[in-house]
Structure 1
Amino acid sequence: MEDISVITAVHHPLRRRIYDYLLLYGTAKVTTLSRALDTQVGSISHHLRMLERAGLVERADDPAGDRRTSWWTVARRGLTWSAEDFADSPADALLAREAQRQSIRMQIERLQRWQRRHDDPAFAAYDASNTEITAWATPDELRDLSTRLLAALNEWRVAVDLEDGQKRTPIFFFAHAFPTTP
């Protein structure tokens, strides 16, 4: 189970963009993040420290050895959690549900941006996937499914050879599993 501080830290809109940038591009300095995300350096630094406290990012050595610049990298990849994980604490459950709503809004916004850009020649070769299934599961089986999916996604991500010279674009995969009715 994730700590609530991790969940709330990553579900702030700017912190999520910082985290996603570092996931995609690797180690970066604060000024690079500031330019890429069109945000003030001071704001980026503040939010990096919040992500650092949650254990999601960490300081990195400057590749050139210059100790005057601040470099950051991802400390861990991927999160799997449910608002139900926090049922024992009403305050944490409330925070978790709001983070879940924020996450769903962000996911839907990304999907809608993709749909608007679908005719963009830069993305013409990409076809967004739609994967779904309806089945039966206990709460423990559903948690097991989430754990297995995250492991499979990370295995796939690591297997992609980024040095093979092929042109790639960032992708976003999200899945939700929840009780339903037909």
Structure 2
Amino acid sequence: MEEISVITAVHHPLRRRIIDYLQLHEATQVGTLAKAFGAQVGSISHHLRMLQKAGIVEQTDDPTGDKRTSWWQLARRRITWSESDFDSPADAMLAREAQRANVRHQLDRLQRWHRVSRDSDVEGFATDTLKWATPAELRDLGQRLNAMLDEWGAGIDREDGQERLPVFFFAHGFPTEV
């Protein structure tokens, strides 16, 4: 179970963007993050420290060996929770709001894609299905999808000279009414 402090740290809008950037670009200098987001270095450093306190990012050595620059990378790539994980009504409310913020973030990305997709040479995809599952089978599906995405991503050679675009993938599996 995640601590509520981790969940709330991750769902600050700028921190979420920092996490997304580090997922794509791996170890990154603070100044590069500030430039990417049009933010002050001090602001980015503050948000990185908040994410570090939550165990999401960690400082790393400058790949060139320069000790004067501050580089950061993800310490972990996955955070999973449910509002039912929390006994405290206040924490359950924060977890629920973080879930809502996460869904808004996902849908905002999808809407942005649809606005520009007509002008793009790259096609996305959509998928959905309806099946029967026990709670354990649903958990298993989520674990299998995460493992498949990890394996798929590890098989991509980013140094092969091919042009790549950032790709956002999201899927939801949940009990529903028919």
TM-score interval, normalised by the smaller of the two chains? over 0.9
Q: For 1:165, which of 158, 161, 167 is the aligned residue?
A: 161
1:176 maps onto 2:172 in alignment: yes
2:93 alignment counterpart:
94
1:103 alignment counterpart:
102
- Asked whether the equivalents of residues 80 and 147 of structure 1 are also in contact (C-alpha less than 8 Å), the reply is no
SS of 1:112 mapped into structure 2: helix
Q: Which structure 2 residues correspond to residues 1-182 of structure 1 after superposition, within 5 A?
A: 1-86=1-86, 88-120=87-119, 123-124=120-121, 126-182=122-178
CA shift for structure 1 position 83: 2.5
Give the distance between the partners of 2:102 and 2:76, measured in 1 at CA. Answer: 18
Q: In structure 2, do the counterparts of structure 1 residues 101 and 74 end up closer, same or farther at CA, with 3 Å as the change threshold?
A: same
SS of 1:118 mapped into structure 2: helix
Runs of 4+ aligned structure 1 residues displaced above 3 Å come to none
SS of 1:108 mapped into structure 2: helix
SS of 1:59 mapped into structure 2: strand
Aligned length in residues: 178
Instruction: Name the aligned partner's letter for residue 17 of structure 1.
Output: R
Structure 1 residues not aligned, in runs of 5+: none
Give the distance between the partners of 1:129 and 1:101, measured in 2 at CA. Answer: 23
CA shift for structure 1 position 28: 0.9
SS of 1:173 mapped into structure 2: coil
Give the distance between the partners of 1:71 and 1:44, measured in 2 at CA. Answer: 12
Give the distance between the partners of 2:135 and 2:85, measured in 1 at CA. Answer: 11
Give the distance between the partners of 2:132 and 2:84, measured in 1 at CA. Answer: 18
Structure 2 residues not aligned, in runs of 5+: none
RMSD across aligned positions (CA): 1.4
TM-score by length of 2: 0.93
